[in-house]
Amino acid sequence: MSGNVAMTCRYYGISRPAVRIVSFRPGNWGWTVAGAKDNALNCALGLTGPPSWLLWEIDADGGTATSDRGHTVRTSPFLGVIGMPPDEPGRHSTIPPRSTAGGNIDCRELTAGAILFLPVPVPGALLHLGDGHAAQGDGEVSGTAIESPMKAEVVLDIVADAPVSGLHAVTPNGRITFGFNVDLDVAMAEALAAMVTWMQWLYDVDRGTATALASTVVDMRVTQVANETWGVHAVLAAGAIT
């Protein structure tokens, strides 16, 4: 599939869909822009002039992208948007991600081989996929990644009694929990609290012990700063605790 698509997901309650990411293949071109919005971050960065653009030629087979300025970076394709509609009436912006529904997560860890577990806020909700990124750093600091067309193959499974009630993922590199809020401290605490809960389940320990363990091995990362709300993800690397 390519572009923004939606698939019906009719599961509701304790069971939740697992989006198993099989493969991503970016198109042969992409773009990145900085300074396109008049916001506090761009002002702090001194980006007060016209926007700065990079246009990219993408070699999907070689795993590289080369800009029109001559810089080459490694690609690591993923979809910025994987999510459900919120359980509230009316029209909703697709810009901010939501803890209860996912959406514009922009987490670069969700590459091929990852499994994203989503709540289903309403019966018959549509699963939305889109926003192809050929490469992105943690934070998506200019507000854009290498935005590109994307072909994606995913498989939907259903998982009962998931250990974490909210949005979470298993990737080839480890386990991830998420937090989203206009307050960075709140987003961080949300992501960490979910990871501590997961670690209690994994290692059969009390919450204090799980938190102490988390302090030794869990990484807290800023997912994105671009979507009107802070995104933070907690990462428990594979093999970090034996």
Could you give the domains of the chain? 5-26+76-237 (2.60.120.580), 29-73 (no CATH)
The residues with which 116 forms a beta bridge, in sequence order, are 19, 169
Task: Give the C-alpha separation, 8 to 204, whole Å.
Answer: 36
Task: Give the C-alpha separation, 160 to 193, whole Å.
Answer: 21
Task: Give the C-alpha separation, 176 to 116, whole Å.
Answer: 9
* pLDDT of the residue at 13: 38
The fraction of the chain above a pLDDT of 90, given in percent, is: 75
* pLDDT of the residue at 154: 96
Task: Give the C-alpha separation, 168 to 147, whole Å.
Answer: 24
pLDDT digits (tens, 9 = 90+) for 5-20: 544 444 333 467 899 9
Please compute the mean of the pLDDT values over residues 126-132 and round it to a whole number. 93
Q: Which amino acid is at 4?
A: N
Q: Which helix (H) or strand (E) holds 104?
A: strand 102-104
Q: Is 101 exposed, middle or buried (0-12, 13-18, 19+ CB in 10 A)?
A: buried
> Among the listed ranges 61-75, 90-104, 130-144, which one has the minimum average pLDDT value?
90-104
Task: Give the C-alpha separation, 220 to 177, whole Å.
Answer: 10
Per-residue pLDDT at 1 exceeds 90: no
Please compute the mean of the pLDDT values over residues 118-145 and round it to a whole number. 92
* pLDDT of the residue at 30: 98
* pLDDT of the residue at 8: 43
Task: Give the C-alpha separation, 203 to 226, whole Å.
Answer: 35
Per-residue pLDDT at 3 exceeds 80: no
Indicate the Cα dihedral angle 32, 168, 114, 57, nearest 10°.
0
* pLDDT of the residue at 10: 40
Instruction: Provide Rg for the chain, Cα atoms.
Output: 18
Residues shown for the chain: 242
pLDDT, greater one: 165 or 83? 83
Q: Report residue 132 as tokens.
A: 């192809």
Please compute the mean of the pLDDT values over residues 119-145 and round it to a whole number. 92
Please compute the mean of the pLDDT values over residues 183-195 and round it to a whole number. 97
